A and B are shown apart, each in its own frame.
Chain A
Amino acid sequence: MDRYSLSNLIRNARRGGGTWSRAWRDAEPKPAYDIVIIGGGGHGLATAYYLAKEHGVANVGVVEKGWIGGGNTGRNTTIIRSNYLWDESAALYEKSLKLYEGLSHDLNFNIMFSQRGVLNLAHTEGDLREIARRTAAVRLNGIDSEFLTTAQVKAMVPILNTSANARYPVLGASLQRRGGVARHDAVAWGLARAADARGVDIIQNCEVTGFDIKDGRVTGVRTSRGPIAAKKVGIVVAGHSSVLADMAGFRLPIESHPLQAAVSEPIKPVLDTVVMSGTVHVYVSQSDRGELVMGAGIDAYTSYAQRGSPAVIETMMASAVDLFPIFSRLRMMRQWGGVVDVCPDASPIIGTTPVEGLYVNAGWGTGGFKATPGSGWVFAHQIARGEPHTLAVPLALSRFASGALIDEHGAAAVSH
């Protein structure tokens, strides 16, 4: 692998360019690995990367049924923040945000992390109280969070409709300045390249069709490219966790829903931060290409089709135009959907399963991208050491029986 640096850039240019080696190998599946990770999205690749880097386990195969980063990693709206209400969530998402802050250097790959700030708008008296509470809770956890008045919001985002006559007037906002956006494909590619450099095999077009389980212990996976033996297996499949769990013979408290997003035609810079509104229900940022990237809530029914109903997009667009009247004549270029696995308490499940040696990292719902490195960090620890990372202890599957749920339905600030 070529290191990306100024000197290598000059050297390559002198050779006439185009002589870079490929970023990661197109690995063939080996008959056996110490650890098989199912799912080549950001979370799976991060798990493999940290297994190799932090735990010295490089005999790892990542099996991906399509291409890496082709699921929710490539379909989300790339927002990163850590302003969660409960201590358990705040600690994990803050760990992830801190890893994101150093990830470009760590991976030697520019993930274009732009800490442009994330605003959560308040439109009602109830919103105001909730945002004041959240801002205080987040600060108590040592995470940056500020409360902004309407005038401060207007100064920061002049194109936002802050008129008192708006149907849902902007009464204030919370702001996390360290939040922002990153290039989602680069996160997948950078993690894949760095994991590959440490010896991890990334096997694309390899769908898992079943598990080999002997005496309650996993011994391998069956795939569309033949069986692969493994001492330990991690399920990190975003929208298909229940399907994989079913293959292994256990049930999960998860339902899979479509989550849709859309981008506009590219325009000149008009929005240099991320604006989220739970009440009017839309979140918007502007990409480096000038497109406005928007998302909203899930479709109500379950689906594995990677598409949802147009009515959801229509409501989202109405919300966007309500908040930003300047967007009303924009043409939308693309609209798409992904499958998100939603838990009853809107917090993920990380840890052991009823099958020994088989671990699960699932149920990130609508907000998994921001957690990518943190999720990989704690899941690698779980698989390598066989015990949960301190940050992941409260997220075990057993919380649904104990009742210690971590209710983060309000955390998305849009998906109540």
Chain B
Amino acid sequence: MLLIPCPWCGPRDETEFSCGGEAHIARPKEPATLSDAAWADYLFSRRNTKGQHHERWVHTHGCRRWFNVERDTRTHEITNVYLMGAPRPGAKEG
């Protein structure tokens, strides 16, 4: 069971939250000119990292706010929690 540190409510049980999947997937800037392959990559392909994974969670049964979590998918250890819109921790560019 994950103990998720909500930035507003503090550490709460996983069952209070909903997982929103991979974070930092940017919508294509020019959708009209995008190829089918690029659309497929945006819509369906995922990093699915084994290790440090960045994902979105929402505190459904609490403050109902979204935030990002950095979690190790090998151990489930949560190593970082940061606000929506903040860059990926350790990322070279946005």
List residues of A whose CB falls within 8 A of some B CB.
240, 242-243, 251-256, 300-305, 309-311, 344, 400-403
Contact = CB atoms under 8 A, between A and B. Distances in A.
Given A255-B22, A300-B19, A301-B2, 16 more contacts: A240-B50, A242-B48, A242-B50, A251-B46, A253-B44, A255-B21, A256-B50, A256-B73, A301-B19, A302-B21, A302-B22, A302-B48, A305-B74, A311-B1, A344-B43, A401-B36
Interface residues of B, number: 27
Contacts of A401: 36-37, 39-40
B34 to A, nearest CB: 11
Contacts of B71: 301
Contact of B46 (A242, A304, A403): A242
B41 interface: yes
Contacts of A256: 48, 50, 73
- Top 8 closest A-B pairs, CB basis? A253-B44, A242-B48, A300-B19, A401-B40, A251-B45, A400-B40, A401-B36, A309-B1
B76 interface: yes
Tell me whether chain A's interface is mostly helix, strand or loop, or mixed: loop
Interface string B26-62: 0000000000110111011111101001010000000
Nearest to B48: A242
A146 B73 CA distance: 42
A354 B14 CA distance: 38
Given A252-B45, A254-B48, A400-B44, A302 B55 contact: yes
B18 interface: yes
B80 interface: no
Nearest to B39: A401
Interface of B: 1-2, 14-15, 18-19, 21-22, 36-37, 39-41, 43-48, 50, 53, 55, 71, 73-76
A251 B50 contact: no
A243 B40 contact: no
Contacts of B37: 401
A176 B21 CA distance: 35
A301 B55 contact: yes
A156 to B, nearest CB: 35
Contacts of B21: 255, 302
12 contacts: A242-B50, A243-B50, A251-B47, A254-B48, A255-B46, A301-B71, A302-B48, A302-B55, A304-B73, A344-B44, A401-B36, A402-B36
Contacts of A301: 2, 19, 55, 71
Given A401-B40, A402-B36, A305 B75 contact: yes
Nearest to A299: B19
Given A302-B53, A302-B73, A304-B74, A311 B14 contact: yes
